């Protein structure tokens, strides 16, 4: 170590804190031999190590450091090189290897940080909240325990019927692959390649006309069980518009966390997720006012509540700008690093975005044309004669290849995949042997920090954080060269991005084994049954999404990866106490923070297989949500109320005082008929228009196992009932009063009740149409199906006039029952003779008028019962249509 020379100068720039590190020799504690102008960073010699002593003021620098080559041990690397280094963060274990600050900041994952060797302008992180307070690290420490899940699929073929003449169309042709926990997987391919189909199959949404098998952790998938372990976040993230972010989260928490957790604990979970995901400052913002990126994040946050180990995303970046895309993919990556299996379909990612993915599954013409590490793609293609041009985005290139722009090469690639060729490339260790060795040693280190580990030790008695770097080469007396550093940079980057192969925490946790540094490590929980606890610590994503870190560590003290930001002091515990260092863990004795260590079976059904909450609880939560939503939907609710009052007043003025006038009975019948029609249409049309949107939310939430169809349907049915009753009643009373109908309580009540029942039947019809059709079809079908019921209502044509063979239609016309019931309420029940202000009034006797309308035999209660029966019947049919719809989606 005495001979060890750090050959590279480190230059850190920051607007506020000057921190310049220049080449030093390890045998010169103060950096002798070369001038140092460090204000707050210095290197000092330590036995068998090179140590940097960093003043805490510099620990949390918001800096972007560049490493410039000055004195290289090797002549061929004289050319100046720059490597992006730390961004905005403290110096943590992974950032320092072999005496160099290595680009492996956690911020590379979530902060819009720089990865690889790209020279990018330094990002200015947003580390403080609007009120100027520093944002602390956020731990997802209260989520329920869930098991890690690997998904393997073998020989999946899927076809759809294209009608009798055309037969079947095969969409997926015997595709196989494996998506591992801890990895961010991209499913890519040209349009129509079958990406969504594959993901739907893996998510369990498509089960028919399917062959092949899906294995979960090596065992046959139990679909019902699997669906409880996974969530699917769709492209069009439909959210309940009138709830705030926090309210939406609480609904999710109440539904998904069950009653085992009290409300205060649920709030903690919700706040923690919102903090982590960068939405805490938007807690009270209505979901309809969120930006596209925030909506996506909320969609993720809603699902994160019960901590699903598998998350599927259908084109999560669609419609987002490049910066927001990057933040989002960074977030997904950090979620993957927590041990989750994250699978996304993605269309055409930028190079920067593309390299964020660990694993690529490339489809073309329904077949797999590459599966493996993203970095293996270019060499794989090159080996088959498809050289990705320099400065060309590999993601673009592979799509061009898949689309046939370089000839029909898909069969060749598919064949290569089948022959196992891409596996070679996906696991190849592109010159990262040093890193591999180091990482492997770290893994073997089993908690010991004595060799080959990068540690950060905090001297609690001093104001310094000491970064200790040990270096195999130093021990061997070999000089560290720039190429070493480069390799380390890449490897560290790789290691950190792939879950931190044991850095910093004593090396027990990586578990990636000796396969390769490119291969993401298995989680500690998979490595050791003794490990009972995994901790994820994610730095919150700021509003600009620029800061993030993560760590996960196990109870036995083997840190899988420990990248902490903010104070930098936590890095000490990363190294020294095996990573059980994050605030949550530390504050609670080290192991309250379980994320993925559940021994919950992923294969077999638990004894109680159902939703997290009882049907009754689901019903209440959904009823409350629907009620609040309707109340807050100011536009529609107020408009509905206003329209009932205004139209009621207009009708009242048109038919003013006709109710008791014998000479105007036909006009009065017209008024009653119009009242029936109005209550009917005003109930049906809003339902046809709004229900499809609610359906989208329902489908998402139901398929993600929040609640049952029954609970949703009953809640939906009940929630709008009071509003419909009030609006229809208001209208009827206004009309009734202005048109001077008989002011007898029972007649008023009967009239209002029959009109309300008519409106409820119409609403049920709207629900049925909304459940079965899209808005466009529904808007057409609603009025069209109503026309016959109006014709057979008895107003335009007397029942006696209708031909016998068509009279049955009158019995299924709910408008008939509504109109008849209203007429009977006003003219029936032996009403006294009407007033006559004309020379002659033919219908002074109300009974005579009812005879004329063929309603003299009508019974009010029959009309009411018929309407109630139709209401119940339609609701039942709508329920089954919804079930069928759900079945069709699958």
Ligand X SMILES: Nc1ncnc2c1ncn2[C@@H]1O[C@H](COP(=O)(O)OP(=O)(O)OP(=O)(O)O)[C@@H](O)[C@H]1O
Per CB under 6 A, the segment of 186-194, 564-572, 596-604, 749-757 that binds ligand X is 186-194
> Should residue 857 be labelled a site residue for ligand X when binding is judged by CB under 6 A?
no
Q: How far is the CB of 199 from ligand X (least distance, A)?
A: 8
Comparing CA positions, the residue from 268, 93, 137 lying closest to residue 538 is 137
Q: How far is the CB of 438 from ligand X (least distance, A)?
A: 40
Give the residue with the Cβ less far from ligand X, 171 or 757. 171
Residues 731 and 647 sit within 8 Å (Cβ to Cβ): yes
In 490-593 the beta strands, taken as DSSP E runs, fall at 534-539, 551-554, 559-562
Q: How far is the CB of 193 from ligand X (least distance, A)?
A: 4
Q: Count of residues binding ligand X (CB under 6 A)? A: 12
Per CB under 6 A, the segment of 192-200, 213-221, 702-710, 789-797 that binds ligand X is 192-200
What token pair was written down for 566?
A: 């903010």
Give the residue with the Cβ less far from ligand X, 177 or 504. 177
- Interacting residues with ligand X between 783 and 842 (CB under 6 A): none
- Strand 341-345 and strand 10-13: pairing? unpaired
Cα-based distances in Å from 524 to 454, 508, 512, 869: 19, 8, 9, 60
Residues 535 and 551 sit within 8 Å (Cβ to Cβ): yes
Could you give the 3-state DSSP secondary structure of residue 736?
helix
Q: How many CB atoms lie within 10 A of CB 420?
A: 8
User: Cβ contacts of residue 234 below 8 Å, gap of 6+?
Assistant: 314, 700
The single residue among 196, 525, 567, 618 that binds ligand X, judged by CB under 6 A, is 196
> Should residue 160 be labelled a site residue for ligand X when binding is judged by CB under 6 A?
yes
Q: How far is the CB of 697 from ligand X (least distance, A)?
A: 22
Give the residue with the Cβ less far from ligand X, 362 or 824. 362
> Should residue 221 be labelled a site residue for ligand X when binding is judged by CB under 6 A?
no
Q: How far is the CB of 238 from ligand X (least distance, A)?
A: 18
Q: How far is the CB of 157 from ligand X (least distance, A)?
A: 13
Give the residue with the Cβ less far from ligand X, 345 or 764. 345
The single residue among 25, 62, 88, 197 that binds ligand X, judged by CB under 6 A, is 197
> Should residue 189 be labelled a site residue for ligand X when binding is judged by CB under 6 A?
yes
> Should residue 195 be labelled a site residue for ligand X when binding is judged by CB under 6 A?
yes
Give the residue with the Cβ less far from ligand X, 173 or 473. 173
End-to-end CA distance of the chain: 63
In 14-126 the beta strands, taken as DSSP E runs, fall at 19-21, 41-46, 49-54, 64-68, 82-87, 96-97, 100-101
Give the residue with the Cβ less far from ligand X, 21 or 364. 364
Q: How far is the CB of 319 from ligand X (least distance, A)?
A: 14
Q: How far is the CB of 156 from ligand X (least distance, A)?
A: 12
Q: How far is the CB of 194 from ligand X (least distance, A)?
A: 4
Residues 50 and 1 sit within 8 Å (Cβ to Cβ): yes
> Should residue 764 be labelled a site residue for ligand X when binding is judged by CB under 6 A?
no
Give the residue with the Cβ less far from ligand X, 166 or 599. 166
- Strand 184-188 and strand 359-364: pairing? parallel
Per CB under 6 A, the segment of 178-186, 189-197, 470-478, 850-858 that binds ligand X is 189-197
Give the residue with the Cβ less far from ligand X, 168 or 780. 168
> Should residue 194 be labelled a site residue for ligand X when binding is judged by CB under 6 A?
yes
Give the residue with the Cβ less far from ligand X, 205 or 860. 205
| Sign of the alpha-carbon torsion through 650, 652, 654, 656 | negative
> Should residue 367 be labelled a site residue for ligand X when binding is judged by CB under 6 A?
no
Q: How far is the CB of 329 from ligand X (least distance, A)?
A: 17
Give the residue with the Cβ less far from ligand X, 243 or 325. 325
Give the residue with the Cβ less far from ligand X, 169 or 392. 169
> Should residue 192 be labelled a site residue for ligand X when binding is judged by CB under 6 A?
yes
Q: How far is the CB of 191 from ligand X (least distance, A)?
A: 3
Q: How many CB atoms lie within 10 A of CB 438?
A: 31
Residues 373 and 430 sit within 8 Å (Cβ to Cβ): no
Paired with 535 in beta bridges are 553
Per CB under 6 A, the segment of 184-192, 203-211, 427-435, 829-837 that binds ligand X is 184-192
Per CB under 6 A, the segment of 72-80, 90-98, 187-195, 713-721 that binds ligand X is 187-195
User: Cβ contacts of residue 260 below 8 Å, gap of 6+?
Assistant: none
The single residue among 32, 118, 128, 169 that binds ligand X, judged by CB under 6 A, is 169
Per CB under 6 A, the segment of 99-107, 195-203, 596-604, 744-752 that binds ligand X is 195-203
CA distance 557 to 578: 4
Residues 339 and 553 sit within 8 Å (Cβ to Cβ): no
In 17-148 the beta strands, taken as DSSP E runs, fall at 19-21, 41-46, 49-54, 64-68, 82-87, 96-97, 100-101, 137-139
| Sign of the alpha-carbon torsion through 602, 606, 610, 611 | negative
The single residue among 8, 11, 20, 193 that binds ligand X, judged by CB under 6 A, is 193
> Should residue 316 be labelled a site residue for ligand X when binding is judged by CB under 6 A?
no
What token pair was written down for 574?
A: 């990363």
Give the residue with the Cβ less far from ligand X, 155 or 744. 155
Report helix angle 245-256 to 263-277, nearest 10: 130
Give the residue with the Cβ less far from ligand X, 200 or 452. 200
The single residue among 6, 19, 41, 171 that binds ligand X, judged by CB under 6 A, is 171
Give the residue with the Cβ less far from ligand X, 395 or 442. 395
The single residue among 75, 80, 191, 857 that binds ligand X, judged by CB under 6 A, is 191
103-127 in b/e burial notation, b at 16+ Cβ within 10 A? bbbbbbbbbbbbbbeeeeebbebbb
CA distance 680 to 322: 48
Binding positions for ligand X, rule: CB under 6 A: 160, 162, 169, 171, 189, 191-197
């Amino acid at each position: 170590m005495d001979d060890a020379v750090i050959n590279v100068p480190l230059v850190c720039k920051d607007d506020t804190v000057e921190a310049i590190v220049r080449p030093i020799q390890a045998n010169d504690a103060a950096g002798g031999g070369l001038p140092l102008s460090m204000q707050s960073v210095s290197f000092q010699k330590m036995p068998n190590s090179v140590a940097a002593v960093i003043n805490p003021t510099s620990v949390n620098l918001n800096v972007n450091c560049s490493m410039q080559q000055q004195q290289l041990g090797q002549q061929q690397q004289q050319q100046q090189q720059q490597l992006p280094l730390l961004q905005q963060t403290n110096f943590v274990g992974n950032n320092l290897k072999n005496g160099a600050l290595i680009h492996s900041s956690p911020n590379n994952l979530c902060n819009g940080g720089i990865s690889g060797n790209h020279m990018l302008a330094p990002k200015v992180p947003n580390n403080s909240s609007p009120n100027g307070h520093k944002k602390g690290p956020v731990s997802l420490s209260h989520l329920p325990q869930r098991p890690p899940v690997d998904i393997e699929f073998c020989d999946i073929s899927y076809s759809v019927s294209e009608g009798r003449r055309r037969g079947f169309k095969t969409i997926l042709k015997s595709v196989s692959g494996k998506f591992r926990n801890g990895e961010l997987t991209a499913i890519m391919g040209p349009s129509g390649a079958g990406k969504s189909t594959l993901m739907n199959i893996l998510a369990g949404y498509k089960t028919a006309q399917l062959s092949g098998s899906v294995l979960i952790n090596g065992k046959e998938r139990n679909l019902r069980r699997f669906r409880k372990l996974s969530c699917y976040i769709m492209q069009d993230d439909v959210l309940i518009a009138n709830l705030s972010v926090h309210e939406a989260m609480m609904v999710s928490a109440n539904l998904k966390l069950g009653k085992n957790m009290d409300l205060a604990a649920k709030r903690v979970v919700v706040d923690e997720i919102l903090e982590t995901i960068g939405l805490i400052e938007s807690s009270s913002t209505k979901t309809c006012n969120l930006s596209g990126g925030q909506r996506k994040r909320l969609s993720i946050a809603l699902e994160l509540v019960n901590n699903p180990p598998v998350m599927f995303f259908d084109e999560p970046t669609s419609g987002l700008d490049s910066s927001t895309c990057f933040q989002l993919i960074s977030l997904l990556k950090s979620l993957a690093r927590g041990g989750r299996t994250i699978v996304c379909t993605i269309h055409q990612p930028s190079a920067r975005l593309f390299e964020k993915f660990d694993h690529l599954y490339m489809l073309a013409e329904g077949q797999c044309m590459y599966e493996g590490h993203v970095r293996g793609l270019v060499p794989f293609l090159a080996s088959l004669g498809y050289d990705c041009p320099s400065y060309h985005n590999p993601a673009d290139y592979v799509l061009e290849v898949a689309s046939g722009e370089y000839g029909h090469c898909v069969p060749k690639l598919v064949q290569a995949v089948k022959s196992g060729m891409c596996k070679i490339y996906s696991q190849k260790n592109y010159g990262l042997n040093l890193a591999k060795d180091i990482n492997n040693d770290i893994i073997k280190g089993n908690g010991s920090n004595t060799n080959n580990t990068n540690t950060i030790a905090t001297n609690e008695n001093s104001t310094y954080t000491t970064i200790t770097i040990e270096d195999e080469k130093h021990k061997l007396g070999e000089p560290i060269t720039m190429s070493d550093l480069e390799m380390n940079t890449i490897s560290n980057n790789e290691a950190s991005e792939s879950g931190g192969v044991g850095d910093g925490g004593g090396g027990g946790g990586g578990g990636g084994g000796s396969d390769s540094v490119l291969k993401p490590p298995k989680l500690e929980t998979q490595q050791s049954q003794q490990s009972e606890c995994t901790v994820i610590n994610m730095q919150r994503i700021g509003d600009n999404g620029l800061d993030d870190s993560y760590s996960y560590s196990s109870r036995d003290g083997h840190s899988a990866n420990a990248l902490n930001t903010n104070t930098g002091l936590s890095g000490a515990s990363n190294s020294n106490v095996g990573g059980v260092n994050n605030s949550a863990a530390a504050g609670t004795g080290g192991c309250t923070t379980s994320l993925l260590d559940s021994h919950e079976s992923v294969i077999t059904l638990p004894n109680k297989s159902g939703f997290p909450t009882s049907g009754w609880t689901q019903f209440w939560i959904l009823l409350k949500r629907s009620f609040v939503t309707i109340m807050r939907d100011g536009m529609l609710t107020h408009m509905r109320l206003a329209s009932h009052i205004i139209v009621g007043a207009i009708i009242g003025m048109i038919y003013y005082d006709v109710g008791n006038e014998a000479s105007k009975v036909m006009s009065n019948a017209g008024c009653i008929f119009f009242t029936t029609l109005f209550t009917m249409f005003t109930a049906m049309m809003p339902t046809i228009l709004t229900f499809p949107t609610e359906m989208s939310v329902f489908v998402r939430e139901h398929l993600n196992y929040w609640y049952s169809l029954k609970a949703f349907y009953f809640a939906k049915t009940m929630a709008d009932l009071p509003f419909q009753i009030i609006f229809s009643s208001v209208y009827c009373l206004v009309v009734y009063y202005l048109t001077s109908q008989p002011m007898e309580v029972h007649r008023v009540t009967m009239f209002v009740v029959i009109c309300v029942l008519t409106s409820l039947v119409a609403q049920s019809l709207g629900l049925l149409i909304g459940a079965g059709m899209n808005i466009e079809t529904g808007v057409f079908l609603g009025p069209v199906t109503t026309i016959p019921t109006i014709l057979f209502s008895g107003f335009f044509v007397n029942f006696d006039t209708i031909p016998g063979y068509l009279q049955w239609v009158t019995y299924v016309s709910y408008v008939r029952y509504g109109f008849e019931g209203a007429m009977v309420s006003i003219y029936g029940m032996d009403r006294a003779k009407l007033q006559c202000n004309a020379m002659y009034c033919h219908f002074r006797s109300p009974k005579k008028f009812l005879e004329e309308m063929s309603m003299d035999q009508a019974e009010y209660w029959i009309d009411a019962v018929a309407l109630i029966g139709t209401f119940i019947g339609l609701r039942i049919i709508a329920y089954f249509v919804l079930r069928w719809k759900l079945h069709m989606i699958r």
